[in-house]
Amino acid sequence: MGTESRIYLGKSDDPKPDRVKLALGYLEGRIRNMEGKIGEYQEQERVLNRLLRTAESRERRKLRSLNSSQLGKEIDEHRGYLSKLEKEKKRRTRG
């Protein structure tokens, strides 16, 4: 009975409980650190989404203000950019 009560109270002669406590403390610290990083990433995501919405609304306003010939030029530039991206994608997948 004496040994059982010592183990239950954490007073065993075996050093394993101390190592377990150290490991748990280490892991809890790592978890808190990761939670902090997740919070930072979520804040960055919110900022980037806000910037994206702002850029999208600016782009919409810009496109609304263009006349038909200017809009045609804008569309051609966009198509050129998309074809350039597509060529780059094909080049990377072949390599």
Block residue for tokens 């109270």: 9
| Distances in whole angstroms, Cα of residue 55 to Cα of each of 30, 48, 76, 94 | 37, 10, 20, 34
Block residue for tokens 């075996």: 14
How many separate helices (H) and strands (E) can be counted in the chain?
3, 0
Give the residue-averaged pLDDT of 53-82: 88
Instruction: Provide the CA 36 distance to its chain's centre, in angstroms.
Output: 12
Per-residue pLDDT at 11? 56
Q: Answer with the residue of higher pLDDT: 95 or 29.
A: 29
- Tell me the C-alpha distance between 43 and 49, whole Å: 10
Q: Is the pLDDT of residue 84 over 60?
A: yes
Per-residue pLDDT at 2? 47
CB 63 within 8 A of CB 74: yes
What are the extents of the domains in the chain? Answer: 15-94
Q: What pLDDT digit, counting tens, does each position of 7-66 carry?
A: 455 555 656 678 888 899 999 999 999 999 999 999 999 999 999 999 999 988 988 888
pTM here is 0.47
